[in-house]
Amino acid sequence: MSQELSVFMQQLFNALTISGVYALVALGITVIFGLTGIVKFSIGELLTLGAFLTFAFWEGGTTFFLAVPLAAIAVGGFSLLLERGAFRFTLDQPINGFIVSLGLILVLQNLIIEIWGVGFKAPIRPFTQVWEVGGVSMPVQRWFVVWVAVVIIGLLFMVLRYTKYGRAMRACAEDRDAAALMGIPVALVIAGTFALGGALAATAGGLLASLFAIQPFLGSQYLLKGFAVALVGGLGNVEGAVIAAVLVGLTETMGSGYLATEWRDAYTFGLLIAILLVRPRGLFPARGRLQETLQ
């Protein structure tokens, strides 16, 4: 392989890992938005919480492979409680839900600081090997993260398409009232979706804890990127979020790989503006009554 090609392949691999994480966060945002019209900004903090819980479980002796699902379940449950305690009162006014999530950012971020302090935690590395193929360095840990993301996304698609709960979710997303008239317990589905969104974000956080050092302000960066991804893909559209995640991951990686690095965020947000100007509701707009009234 020529050097240029191997560098390019290396950058592609770099982009792949980060896209997987963005996709998980964006899916968390997008499923909740699709159902409720609430943009849950505090999902960034749920990601941080997932990362720290994973670390705490791991530190307590649990293996990393069990720590991540445990953290995801815990955060999913916590997210469910938040829905029951706060978000369900804002379903008529999604903007209020958005504001509640802003307030929760403060609460959760400082809660994490109270519990774990402001310091960082070094990454957990279950796999330390690095594969070298044609000049491309591929840490096994990164492959692991990519595959976990792919499997989770695949599972999510299967659940949405082929299970009763998945169909109910899609029905609620498209038309909440009509879904209720089918006998679907809409409130339960919404609560379940909050749990799912939280669990997805926490999984992303757990995976991040194996790649990078984590600190209590971790969530905000991923939230903003995840939100950008969800918007580019079309808020509420699950397939769109995955494609957009790859697009944003590539832009960011290639932008900082081949152009001036310090302008990286400008590339990403420039792309976002350009796409939203051409397609104001994202590349693959979700179609439902909620989306029509909100956007």
Partner 1 sequence: MVAVSRSFAGTLLRQYPPADILTIRLPLAILLALPLLAPMLLPSTRLLSLAITAAIFLIVANGLHIVFGYTGQLSLAHTTLWGVGAYTAALLAIHYGWPTAALIPAAGISAAIAAVAIGIPAFRTAGFSFAIITFAFAEILRTVAINWRDLTNGGAGLMLRTPPTSIGPIEFETIRHLDNFYYLTLAFAYLSLAGVFLIRQSRLGRTFIAIRENESLARSLGINVYLHKLIAFGLSGFFAGVAGVFLLYNNQKIEPGPLSPFSAFFTIQFLLMILIGGRFSMLGPTIGAVIAVFAPEVIRPLIGLTPLGDLSTARIQIIFGSTLVLTVLFAPNGVAGQAKERYGALAAALQKFRERQGGAAPPGAAAGG
Partner 2 sequence: MIKRLRVWWIVGVLLTALLVGAACTSDDDVDDDGEDATATSAPTNGEAATATPFTGTILTPEDVLRKDGTATKEVEIEWGWMFELSGPPQIQIFATVTGDGVLFAVQEINDAGGFQIGDTIYTIKLLEHDTESDPNKTIGITRQLIVDDEVNVIWGPASFGEAEATVITQAEQVLHLCACQDRGLTSLSSVEKAAGESHWAFQTLPLVSRFFLQGALNVKEDHPEYERVAIICIDSEIGRSICELYEESYSAAGFEIVGVKVFPPGTSDYTPLLTNLKQQNPDILLNFDDPTAQLNILGQALDMNVASSYNTSLPPDIVQAAFGDRLEGKEVTAGGIPRQATVPTSEAAAAYFERYAEFSGGELPLASFVSLLSYDFVYMLVAAMQQAGTVEDTTAIADALETIHYAGAAEDDIYFNEQHFSVIGSDGCIVRFEQPIECSHDAPVRD
Partner 3 sequence: MLKIRQLSSFYGPIQALREVSLDVDSGEAVAVLGPNGAGKSTLLRTISGLVKPRSGSILYREHEIVGRSTHAIVKLGIVHVPEGRRIFTQMTVLENLMMGAFTRDNKKDIEEHLEFVYEFFPDLAEKRRQLGGELSGGQQQMLAIGRALMSEPSLLLLDEPSLGLSPIMVEQLGKTITAIRQDLGMSIMLVEQNAGLALELTGHVYVMQAGRVVLSGATDEVSIEEIRQAYLGGVSNS
Tokens 């240029």 belong to 4
Interaction mask 121-160, partner 3, x per CB under 8 A: ----------------------------------------
| Beta bridge pairs of residue 130 | 139
Identify residue 274 by its one-letter amino acid code.
Answer: A
Task: Note whether 81 binds partner 1 by CB under 8 A.
Answer: no
Task: Note whether 292 binds partner 1 by CB under 8 A.
Answer: no
Identify residue 214 by its one-letter amino acid code.
Answer: I
3-state secondary structure of 287: coil
Q: Which helix (H) or strand (E) holds 137?
A: strand 136-139
Please give the Cα distance from 218 to 223 (Å, whole number).
9
Residues 183-202 that bind partner 3 (CB under 8 A): 183-187
Which tokens hold the place of 273?
């503006």
Backbone angles phi, psi at 163, to 5 degrees: -105, 160
- Choose the binding region for partner 3 from 37-45, 123-131, 166-174, 247-255 (rule: CB under 8 A): 166-174
* Selected binder of partner 1 within 31, 39, 209, 238 (CB under 8 A): 39
Task: Note whether 208 binds partner 1 by CB under 8 A.
Answer: no
Nearer to partner 2, 70 or 113 (CB): 113
Task: Note whether 109 binds partner 2 by CB under 8 A.
Answer: yes
Residue 281 CA, distance from chain mean position: 19
C-alpha distances in Å from residue 2, one per residue of 117, 130, 134, 254: 47, 21, 9, 18
Number of other residues whose CB lies within 10 A of the CB of residue 114: 9
* Selected binder of partner 2 within 66, 130, 133, 155 (CB under 8 A): 130
Which tokens hold the place of 171?
């029905």
| Beta bridge pairs of residue 133 | 136
CB 172 within 8 A of CB 286: no
* Selected binder of partner 3 within 181, 260, 266, 274 (CB under 8 A): 181
Q: State the residues that interact with partner 2 by CB under 8 A.
A: 3, 7, 10-11, 14-15, 17-18, 44, 105-106, 109, 113, 117-120, 122-123, 128, 130, 137, 139, 208, 211-215, 217-218, 220-221, 223-224, 252-254, 256-258, 261-262, 264-265
The residues binding partner 1 (CB under 8 A) are: 39, 86, 89-90, 93, 95-96, 99-100, 102-107, 109-111, 113-114, 220, 224, 227-228, 231, 235, 262-263, 265-266, 269-270, 272-273, 276-277, 280-282, 294-295
Interface with partner 3 by CB under 8 A: which residues?
Answer: 164, 167-168, 170-171, 174-175, 177-187, 287-288
